[in-house]
């Protein structure tokens, strides 16, 4: 409540945080104005029918600060992010656009490094950057470099993913350790020294998602990459769509020791930290073993784990079962935890 | 030369101006890194083959200052611009993405007005905004609102447009008065009072382009919307692709009296001013009469005019034949004339 009172008629940093205020902004401003069947499900990608093909289409802007960080940079992030939004929609990513808003004075060398990183990441993922744009704004009217990517992919006819398909008894799987990206950016930005610095997990997940779909026999209900707002916000979105309860087992959620340590010292909860190379899937009980096995065979899923299950009640809620057996409700991120994390 | 010496290793405002430095930035930084057959022609859209369909894909970022101006706003601009890049590629625009980078403190009301304007423009043009993203940056790290749109359209198999197809004897047509948008933004931004204020020409050109294609019998070689860098930069791009000379007749170029007057007082040349609701087409001599007639029947082409013709030499150059019969070379925009015009 405090946050909203502070600037009732103005956009706050928290409106970009991926949590509750982001959700309200989207619902109240964008969904109202742009209402259509593609946007309404609030997935991270729209699945369109064009000339009898199913196309996935997505976009994201990247404003991460700083633009270079351990494990990646804004360029790699902008390519991985859009690939991942396509991949978790069940699409095979094909083509990307890239649009640059540059603050006057950015060094050519730095732009060149970012662009090279984008090209390398696109090659690694087998996608092509086919169209783009560049704008330059005056000093003090931007912050070095913002990149917006959009992407197109093809969705096979057999793929049918939607959080509304989730039902009680389903299994919740995460593809690896959570919170790496958030802690990598935060510690690097704030100049916090760590014995073993945490690297961003920034990676393209298209091959992992494809392996999972192939192994699942149609048993994957929904996938999403838990970026801003973290695992807790993604599971809250799922819970809101299917009106079931998403119950996590605290002991089973993979978190790097260094990330856990940094969280304890800095007062963060890994459940709310951004990830850029992880996905969460909800799968049928039958599909869980083969999907998990397929994930663990992929280098990007080697730490995959079943972290919980779906229950009927309390509908629309996310619960965390703690080590000592208590259950507590995990809300969406409210307010802003870490601005400009992606 | 002066411009480049001023900040040899840094991005300058002029790198975003749509002229010579923009071109060099694209060729040296982006084309080198992202080399592929779709990007290489440097059209404003890529035409892709997906499951036997021809898809056009394009993106642009909008950083116009101010965000509201006579005749439009950043929202309408961002929708029209992407529709127009698809339309001049011969595509039927279908779906748009919209990504927002908001400076903390922007009024909700203003965001709401921009978003409503986008929705209205999309409806007017028969396209749907199907996916999007929102990021918020701290005060002083952005400038109120930047919008990046991307768009997908379908290109009929019969359409074959490319500046490389232009040949001597072809006819150059512009769809209406030039320079309106540039003067509208400039006079509004600088608080210059005019007896009859100039409005931006900002409009979606998909129906005009479709009417032209239908009437042309395949005689349209290339179309482009002369935005940043103006008519002169677009014709220089055409000349560079076909290695012919583009010869304009000064007396035939439509310019509003108010725009001409403002240019004389302020020292601008309408040939270099941005347009947001105009297109230039190069057509075969046979196709010119029916195409011109079709354009004039469309409200957005009622002032369409043949403004010149293509000659063999001097290859790669744009010439202006003045009222008194002299011919002078018209270069691409070099340096920055009007930053943040779109």
Structure confidence by residue, pLDDT tens digits, A242-263: 999 999 999 999 999 999 999 9
Tell me which residue in A106, A119, A133 faces B11 most closely, judged by beta carbons: A106
Cα distance from B189 to chain A (closest Cα, Å)? 15
pLDDT over 80 at A336, yes or no = no
Question: What is the rounded average pLDDT of the residues B210-218?
Answer: 98
**Facing residue for B63 by CB, picked from A12, A14, A101:** A101
- Closest alpha carbon within chain B to A156: B51
Question: What residues of A are in contact with residue B143 (Cβ under 8 Å)?
Answer: 137, 141-142
- Is the per-residue pLDDT at B5 higher than 50? no
Percent of chain A clearing pLDDT 70 (strictly above): 98
Q: Report the CATH fold assignment for A163-329.
A: Phosphoribosyl-aminoimidazole Synthetase; Chain A, domain 2 (3.90.650)
CATH class of domain segment(s) B41-155: alpha beta
Phi and psi (nearest 5°) for B64? -55, 145
Indicate if the pLDDT at residue B4 is higher than 60.
no
The band of B35, judged by pLDDT with boundaries at 50, 70 and 90, is: confident
- Contact: A57, B100; criterion CB under 8 Å: no
Topology alike, domains A41-155 and A163-329: no
d(CA A12, CA A309): 35
> What is the arithmetic mean of pLDDT over B22-42?
90
Q: Which residues contact A156 (CB under 8 A, 6 or more apart)?
A: A54, A90, A92
Q: What is the pLDDT of residues B218-255, one digit of tens each?
A: 999 999 999 999 999 999 999 999 999 999 999 999 99
pLDDT of residue A142: 98
A249/chain B closest Cα distance in angstroms? 31
pLDDT at A7: 56
Q: What is the mean pLDDT of the segment spanning B95-108? A: 98
Q: CA of B155 to nearest chain A CA: how many angstroms apart?
A: 11
Predicted TM-score (pTM) of the model is 0.96
A124: chain B residues, CB-CB within 8 Å: none
* Residues of chain B contacting A45 with CB distance shorter than 8 Å: 131
B contacts of A142 (beta carbons < 8 Å): 141-143, 146
DSSP B211: H
**Where are chain A's structural domains?**
41-155, 163-329
Picking from B342, B313, B316, B321, the residue whose alpha carbon sits closest to that of residue B331 is: B316
Nearest by CB to residue A105, choosing from B10, B59, B138, is B10
Asked if pLDDT for residue A6 goes beyond 60, the answer is: no
Contact list in A for residue B55 (CB cut-off 8 A) is 50, 55, 152
CB contact (8 A) between residue B135 and residue A111: no
CB atoms within 10 A of CB B323: 8
């Amino acid at each position: 409540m405090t946050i909203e009172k502070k600037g009732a008629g103005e956009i706050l940093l928290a409106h970009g945080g991926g949590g509750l205020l982001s959700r309200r902004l989207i619902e109240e401003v964008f969904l109202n104005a742009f209402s259509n069947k593609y946007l309404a499900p609030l997935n991270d990608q729209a699945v369109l029918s064009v000339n009898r093909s199913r196309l996935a289409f997505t976009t994201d802007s990247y404003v991460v600060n700083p633009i270079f960080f351990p494990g990646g940079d804004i360029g790699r992030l902008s390519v991985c992010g859009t690939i991942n939004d396509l991949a978790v929609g069940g699409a095979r990513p094909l083509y990307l656009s890239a649009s640059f808003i540059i603050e006057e004075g950015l060094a050519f060398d730095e732009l060149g490094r970012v662009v090279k990183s984008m090209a390398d990441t696109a090659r690694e993922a087998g996608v092509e950057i086919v169209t783009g744009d560049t704008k330059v704004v005056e000093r003090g009217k931007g912050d070095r470099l913002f990149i917006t990517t959009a992407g197109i992919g093809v969705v096979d006819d057999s793929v049918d993913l939607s959080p509304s398909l989730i039902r009680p008894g389903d299994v919740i799987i995460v593809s690896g350790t959570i919170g790496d990206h958030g802690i990598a950016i935060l510690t690097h930005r704030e100049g916090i020294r760590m014995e073993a610095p945490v690297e961003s997990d920034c990676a393209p997940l298209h091959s992992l998602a494809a392996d999972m779909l192939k192994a699942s026999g149609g048993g994957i209900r929904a996938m999403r990459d838990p970026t801003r707002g973290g695992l807790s916000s993604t599971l809250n979105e799922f819970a809101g769509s299917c009106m079931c309860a998403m119950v996590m087992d605290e002991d089973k959620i993979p978190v790097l020791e260094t990330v856990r340590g940094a969280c304890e010292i800095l007062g963060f909860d890994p459940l709310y930290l951004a990830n850029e190379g992880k996905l969460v899937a909800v799968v049928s009980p039958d599909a869980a073993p083969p999907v998990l096995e397929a994930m663990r065979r992929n280098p990007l899923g080697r730490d995959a784990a079943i972290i919980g299950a779906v229950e009927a009640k309390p509908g629309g809620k996310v619960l965390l079962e703690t080590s000592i057996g208590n259950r507590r409700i995990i809300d969406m991120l409210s307010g802003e935890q870490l601005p400009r994390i992606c």
